[in-house]
Structure 1
Amino acid sequence: MVLPKEIGHQVRFGKSLIELFRRGCWEIPEIMGASGMAIVGLGLALIGLSNYAKNDGDNKEYKSYYCVIRSDDPRAKLIRNPVKTEY
């Protein structure tokens, strides 16, 4: 019985988590690359949301509703642009 010749090369991967990642990059590089970019995008979105919340991002100059704040309210000192009465 004649065995067929090997064409190309055989790639063997181990059973660890790193080897699973390497095998995924070998077999489906498009999916692994897109998954990596999605993880990076989620990380950047979380950083952006935390910066937005930390810098009082909800304090907009033009709002769709009026909100009356008393002068002794701690949020009163956060107002950047009080109502202008110059016309």
Structure 2
Amino acid sequence: MPMPKTIGHQIHFAKTLSGLIRRGWWEIPEIMASSCMAAIGIVLGIVGVYNYEKRNGDNKEYKSVYMIMRPDDPRVCLLNNPVYTQYKRF
């Protein structure tokens, strides 16, 4: 009995993680592309929050709401000098 003919071309992927990723890009490119963009967005968000915290981002020199702190509060040492203010050049 003759073997049935295959229509089109068949692509075989390796049974590894890279083969799974290649098969995903072949079969569902929209899902794979949006997943990559989401991963890039998460990484950029983590880097942004890290840089914000590293530069003491919550310590703004000019605030619209003022807080009164006791002298023994541990956050007092992080504050800018409230008496002398110098314009910063960026």
Q: Shorter chain as normaliser: what TM range? A: 0.7 to 0.9
Question: How big is the shift at 1:2?
Answer: 5.8
- Partners of 2:31 and 2:18 in 1: CA distance: 16
When the two structures are superposed, what TM-score results if normalisation uses the length of structure 2? 0.72
- Partners of 2:10 and 2:30 in 1: CA distance: 21
Give the paired residue count: 80
RMSD of aligned alpha carbons = 2.7
Q: 1:9 corresponds to which residue? A: 9
- The percentage of counterpart residues that share the same residue type is 47
Q: 1:75 corresponds to which residue? A: 78
Residues 1:59 and 2:51 aligned together: no
Runs ≥4 in structure 1, deviation > 3 angstroms? 1-5
1:29-83 CA-to-partner distances (Å, cap 9, x unmatched) read 000000001001100000000000000100122143x22343xx4123xx27x37
- Partners of 1:16 and 1:7 in 2: CA distance: 26
> Where does structure 2 lack aligned partners over 5 or more consecutive residues?
85-90
Q: 2:26 corresponds to which residue? A: 26
> Where does structure 1 lack aligned partners over 5 or more consecutive residues?
none
